[in-house]
Amino acid sequence: MTTRRAPRLIDIAEAVGVHVSTVSRVLNGDPAQSVRPELSELILATARQQGYRPNALARALKRRRTGALAFVIPLLRNPIWVRMQRGALQRAAERGYVVMIMEEPGDEPQPPGHYRYLVEESRADGLLLATALRAPAHAAGVPGVPHVYVNRRGPVRGNDVVMDESGAVRLFLGHVAGQGHRRVALIDGPAAVDTVHRRTLAARRICAARGIRLIVRHAAPTEAGGWEAADSLLRAGQSPTACGVGSLNQLFGVMAALRARGVGVPAAMSVVSFDEDECLAFLDVPVTSVAMPLAELGAAAVDAVLTRIEREPAGDVMVSDPMRLVPRRSVGRCPA
């Protein structure tokens, strides 16, 4: 039985029709490279197709780097983190890096500076941080360490890789307003989470401009949190006819609370999730959602932290595409 030889730089160069030095510069992310974007993409695609793996040890010794990144995420069961991680892992592999995933206990969020030891002790070259809160304890950041904040804004602008939460809110409100809804609720996570903060601000601004009455409820990003928020909304006698829900876990609690109180979906309440997952199509009432560019966000975060590791000019990144509304049966016309 013959053993298949591992692909080399020269194999990729011959397949693309360029010099081996051009392939080396692209695969190693050489900041001095002057390669056309379409050629760079072709080289990367050919390397993936051939299963090329760079010699991480040789490159680490040459560059005095570990070839690893640390991705710190909240301890949540929400599947959106899996998609984000998958995008980061794939892009890191394309760039010749590995990613260490670290889960942070959700009940004891650590300040971002808590993780700087990973770089200072040469365990990683840079940090991907998805845990920063809008809290004084998190205001110090991690100066002097290559890092980006993922799906969060950090205390100092210039290191943020986020999605267009305002665009997501516009899709939600535009959809329900088009069905005649003028009283809307937003059930979302704690206000200290930057993503929630930006969604809430956008909802208040857009509803004020469109003359839509808005009720906001902040709750734990869990099934119990969604239940409690929806139940308190109904017990208070407030009467929204449409509801946006910030997380998939909260959504299950909201739907259970509505079912327990005999509130029909969408007959009496239209519901939209800000998390998209295939499971939403298989609920008793399939739930409309806003599909966000999660894998693209993870990939963009890796590119951004590698830019900082290479000491190239860098700034905030907004990932807006692809983002779309996924219509299902949980949204209907506003009841008379």
Question: Domain residues of the chain, as ranges?
Answer: 9-53, 63-163+294-319, 165-292
| Confidence band for 8, pLDDT divided at 50, 70 and 90 | confident
pLDDT higher than 50, residue 57: no
Instruction: Burial-class residue 306 by CB neighbours within 10 Å (0-12, 13-18, 19+).
Output: buried
Q: Which fold has domain 63-163+294-319?
A: Rossmann fold (3.40.50)
Sign of the torsion angle spanned by Cα atoms 140, 78, 189, 326:
positive
The average pLDDT across 51-74 equals 71
229-248 residue pLDDT tens: 999 999 988 789 999 999 99
Cα–Cα distance measured from residue 294 to residue 296, given in angstroms and rounded to the nearest whole number: 5
217 has a pLDDT exceeding 70? yes
Same fold, 63-163+294-319 and 165-292: yes
Q: Taking 90 as the threshold, does the pLDDT of residue 51 lie above it?
A: no
* Distance, CA of 258 to CA of 317 (rounded, Å): 38
Q: What is the mean pLDDT of residues 109-137?
A: 88
The pTM (predicted TM-score) of the whole model is 0.81
Return all residues near 275 (Cβ < 8 A) that are at least 6 apart.
Answer: 78, 79, 80, 246, 247, 248, 251, 289, 292
- Asked if residue 42 has pLDDT above 60, the reply is yes
- Of the candidate CATH numbers 2.40.50.140, 3.30.1330.60, 1.10.10.60, 1.10.260.40, the domain formed by 9-53 belongs to 1.10.260.40
CA angle 45/47/53 to nearest 5° reads 140
Contact of 186 with 200, CB cutoff 8 Å = yes
Average pLDDT, the chain: 90
The CATH architecture to which 165-292 belongs is 3-Layer(aba) Sandwich (3.40)
User: Which three-class secondary structure state does DSSP give residue 80?
Assistant: helix
Chain centroid, CA 314 distance in Å: 19
Q: How confident is the model at residue 107 (pLDDT cuts 50, 70, 90)?
A: low
Over residues 127-154, the mean pLDDT reads 89
Mean pLDDT of 170-177: 98
Please determine, for residue 64, whether its predicted confidence score (pLDDT) is greater than 70.
no
What would the mean pLDDT of 50-77 be, rounded to a whole number?
A: 72
